[in-house]
Structure 1
Amino acid sequence: MGEHSLQFAALVGSRICHDLISPLGAINNGMELMGMSGLAASPEMALISESVDAANARIRFFRIAYGAPSTTQLLGRGEITSILKDMSRGARLTLHWDPVEDLSRSEVQLAFLAIQCAQQAMPYGGTLSVRRAAQRWELTMDAERLSLDGAQWDTLLNAAEDMLGDPATLPAHVQFLLLPLHAKAIGRDIHLLREDAGARLCV
């Protein structure tokens, strides 16, 4: 995938997220109006409300992870941690975001894609800590069971761009394709360090 193709994919991702935000917002507003009208709370209404909240959280995350990168637009810690908190609500994975400084959208995009890769390696939950060291990302995965084998990890660590056309590549693994491409675009490489208590993904 060339630079222009990567930019095109990012624009498509941004467009999809942008177009989904409005109808989800309308559903949420409708739910609030129904509550104000005196409609009694019910399990069905609670389920709809929880589903809308979950969808909104995912779209906020996806807009950064799969949208157009930017080295000039900054994201603050409050916004980042709010997105991650909403994304991980109800999950078996505990996520810690250590950086306190504002970061460019491109940097946060790398971190979010790396988080998705790490999540895939922790299907039974655990603790994922994200920090900055020497202007690079370090994601520490602490879990009783880690799944770090498979073609997707080979793709990530070896920047195997030929996997883009492989029909065996699953949509659920797209982050393993995009992370090395975005990292390469800004001169970064990716390392996976296995440790006794888990592993560290460095970008």
Structure 2
Amino acid sequence: MCPPDLSALIGSRICHDIISPLGAIGNGVELLALSNAAPTEEMALIHQSVANANAKVQLFRIAFGTANAGQTVGATEMAGVLTAYFTDGRTRSDYLVTDTVPRPEAKAALLAALCLHSALPSGGRIELRRTGVRWALAAQGMVHVDAGLWAALDHGQPMPDLSAATVHFALLPQALAALDRRAKFSRGDDRLLLEF
């Protein structure tokens, strides 16, 4: 029997426990809005903050949570999660997959999207495609690549020191190993392609 993936279980638990209170706050804000009170900047800020937190939790639930082989994620859910996550206005995502995908593949695709997002500090566009079982994710914009992190993904070199902001670089190879795949990337002046 394989040992449990503790980091994925922790991620699932955190997302599960946070999503209910966030939903309650969002419902409370909507009820206040229906009470005919004049809209205020404070209420708009609370509403936007809850929406942003919900978007992050939804993406993290798939990317950092457990991914059992029998589970799937629909195209509408994946596209919605990505669109909601990238609401900062600087980065846009285009999810060009129409099929339902196995949850382990969805996990890897979202982790890969987070890696690409890290390479777009000024924003840009991230495109996700799937042909058969092969994924191709492209980032377009002013690309900035941390050579150590990307070499660890592409060439299997030791992972450099990580921070909370770059943990997805360590999780992506694990997710791909579960699929018996490896990441491969190529870079142009304003484009970065990650395939698995």
Name the TM-score, length of structure 2 as normaliser. 0.92
Q: Which moved more, 1:27-36 or 1:60-69?
A: 27-36
CA distance in 1, matches of 2:190, 2:151: 22
Give the alignment of 1:10-21 within 5 angstroms. Answer: 10-21=8-19
CA distance in 1, matches of 2:178, 2:71: 17
Q: Which moved more, 1:10-19 or 1:133-142?
A: 133-142
CA distance in 2, matches of 1:104, 1:48: 35
Q: SS at the partner of 2:187? A: strand
Give the alignment of 1:82-93 within 5 angstroms. Answer: 82-93=80-91
Aligned to 2:58: 60
Q: Is the 8 Å Cα contact of residues 159 and 181 (structure 1) preserved in structure 2?
A: no
Aligned to 1:44: 42
Aligned to 2:192: 199
CA distance in 1, matches of 2:136, 2:147: 21
Structure 1 position 59, deviation (Å): 0.3
CA RMSD of aligned residues (A): 1.7
Q: Which moved more, 1:130-139 or 1:39-48?
A: 130-139
Q: Is the 8 Å Cα contact of residues 105 and 179 (structure 2) preserved in structure 1?
A: no
One of 3, 6, 22 as aligned partner of 1:24: 22
Aligned to 1:102: 100
Task: Show CA shifts across 1:141-188 (max 9, x none).
Answer: 221x2111333223322345x64xx7x421111100000011012210
Q: Is the 8 Å Cα contact of residues 64 and 109 (structure 1) preserved in structure 2?
A: yes
Amino acid of the structure 1 residue aligned with 2:178 = A
Task: Show CA shifts across 1:94-148 (max 9, x none).
Answer: 21111101111111101000000000001112221110134211111221x2111
Structure 1 position 22, deviation (Å): 1.1
Counterparts in 2 of 1:197 and 1:150: CA distance versus 1, 3 Å = closer
Counterparts in 2 of 1:32 and 1:197: CA distance versus 1, 3 Å = closer
Q: Is the 8 Å Cα contact of residues 186 and 194 (structure 2) preserved in structure 1?
A: yes
Give the alignment of 1:69-80 within 5 angstroms. Answer: 69-80=67-78
Aligned to 2:163: 170
Unaligned 5+ runs, structure 1? none
Aligned to 1:4: 3
Taking only the aligned residue pairs, the percentage that are identical comes to: 37
Unaligned 5+ runs, structure 2? none
